[in-house]
Amino acid sequence: MGPEAAHGVPMKEETVRGSERGHGSESGGARIDGGERMTDRLAGLRHGVGGRQVSRSRIWVDPRFLVGLMLVVASILGVWWLVTTSSRTTPVYAASETLTPGTRLDRSSLQVIDARLGSVEGGYLGAGAAPPPGIVVTRTIAAGELVPLDALGEASAVGVTTLVVEPAGRLGADILPGTVVDLWAAAPDGDGYGVPEVLVSAATVVRVGEDEGLLSGRGSVTLELAVPRSAVATVLSATAAAHLLSVVPTEPGER
């Protein structure tokens, strides 16, 4: 019998089964290849997500971001400092009355007020302690004005003193303590007076006094003036010689 007869149908069945096993192996290989490709895709996705995370972390440490953050913090601190300093008040001395050159500084002529001075606080007399002894005013300080340190000095450095004069006639309403005036004098000349001349320029009115006459009913006006020491002899000589004295306020631009 030939091979076909010897094996018969069983041989064909084995051939068919072998063929099926071969196809099964090929399909299994396809499934394995597909699984590997799917695994590679998942790995690629994970790698991509990880890459984006790394890139995002690099943005947070970017020097430009740090510089911007520092600028924001600095601006916030600057605004806070400005608001704090502008709202803070400091007790300082202010003149309770007009203080003229040569006036000795003491508590009786001062008052304490709370002022917002900011960066110029060091330029005014603080009320934390009594005024320094022996200090006088070197220029006029109006009533209610804060006492600046540059308007104070030693008495020897002022170079002015006060004299009381009696000007002719009544004074104008604008002659007040602190007013800067020129003192004029006219010498007697026969039945009248000669041409008036300026005795003292830019004298400061310290005090205004007015007394009512008991007999005549006419009031006499006296002025206490702060004048340079060098002009004292001239004023006293004019007073002794019965010169007619007058005071004239100076213009603001002439002070």
Q: Which ranges of the chain would DSSP assign to H, the alpha helix?
A: 3-60, 63-87, 155-158, 232-240
Q: Average pLDDT over the chain, rounded to whole?
A: 77
pLDDT per residue as tens digits for the range 170-218: 888 888 888 999 999 999 988 899 999 999 998 999 888 876 554 444 4
Q: How far apart are CA 119 and CA 110, in angstroms?
A: 23
Q: What is the DSSP letter of 119?
A: G
- pTM of this structure: 0.56
* Contact of 225 with 181, CB cutoff 8 Å: yes
Tokens of 155: 């008495």
DSSP, res 202: E
Whose tokens are 């010169």? That residue is 243
Would you list the domain boundaries of the chain? Answer: 1-61, 90-155, 159-254
The predicted-structure confidence for 80-139, as pLDDT tens digits, reads as follows 877 776 667 889 999 999 898 888 888 888 999 988 887 788 899 998 888 888 888 988
Domain 90-155 belongs to what topology?
Type Iii Antifreeze Protein Isoform Hplc 12 (3.90.1210)
